Amino acid sequence: MRTSTTVAAPVPAVWRVLLDIERWPDWTDTVTTARWLDPGPTRPGRRARLTQPRLGSAEWEITELEQERSFSWVRRSAGVTTVGGHLLSAGPDGGTTLTLSIDHSGPLAGVVRLLTDRLTRRYIDTEARGLKAYCER
């Protein structure tokens, strides 16, 4: 599942907001608390704990990172691996194209999709709109 939007802000500005995980609750209602679990710079292997309405708390671990371009992180639970993708690219007029994605795999992925697709769609759309509004103000 994916969503994209154009943000009227340069990639470095959007990247700074996106990686400031602990401030996500400032710009999206889909995250009530967020904190890094590991000190230091953002890098593969760094973990964060997010609490989301209707989903509870989960630990996410960064698996891929390309500075000022993208990061992916993974959440593992019994029978399901969920990958969250965050991609930025230079857009028209000095803006940024933001693409967010969520993908499930594993033996229970079909069940998870069946139970959460509507909520997941609403959450990633809300996150894209919230990040856009925050970066454009």
- Whether residue 66 contacts residue 82, with contact meaning beta carbons closer than 8 Å, is answered with no
Task: Give the pLDDT confidence score for residue 91 in this predicted structure.
Answer: 85
Tell me if 70 is assigned to some domain.
yes
Tell me if 128 is assigned to some domain.
yes
Tell me if 43 is assigned to some domain.
no
The enclosing domain of 108 has a CATH number of: 3.30.530.20
Question: Rg of the Cα trace of the chain?
Answer: 14
The single-letter DSSP state of residue 2 is E
Containing structural domain, residue 77: 2-29+66-136
Task: Give the pLDDT confidence score for residue 106 in this predicted structure.
Answer: 97
Residues 88-130: tens digit of each pLDDT = 999 878 999 999 999 999 999 999 999 999 999 999 999 999 9
Tell me if 50 is assigned to some domain.
no
- pTM beyond cutoff 0.85: yes
CA atoms within 13 A on the CB side of 88: 25
CA atoms within 13 A on the CB side of 28: 27
H helical segments located in 20-108: 24-27
Class of residue 58 by CB neighbours under 10 A (exposed 0-12, middle 13-18, buried 19+): middle
**Pairing of β 56-66 and β 47-52:** antiparallel
Tell me if 38 is assigned to some domain.
no
**Pairing of β 96-105 and β 70-77:** unpaired
Class of residue 99 by CB neighbours under 10 A (exposed 0-12, middle 13-18, buried 19+): middle
Q: How many domains does the chain contain in total?
A: 1
CA nearest neighbour of 73 among 98, 52, 101, 109:
101
Tell me if 56 is assigned to some domain.
no
CA nearest neighbour of 85 among 18, 17, 35, 14:
18
Residues 36-55: tens digit of each pLDDT = 999 999 999 999 999 999 99
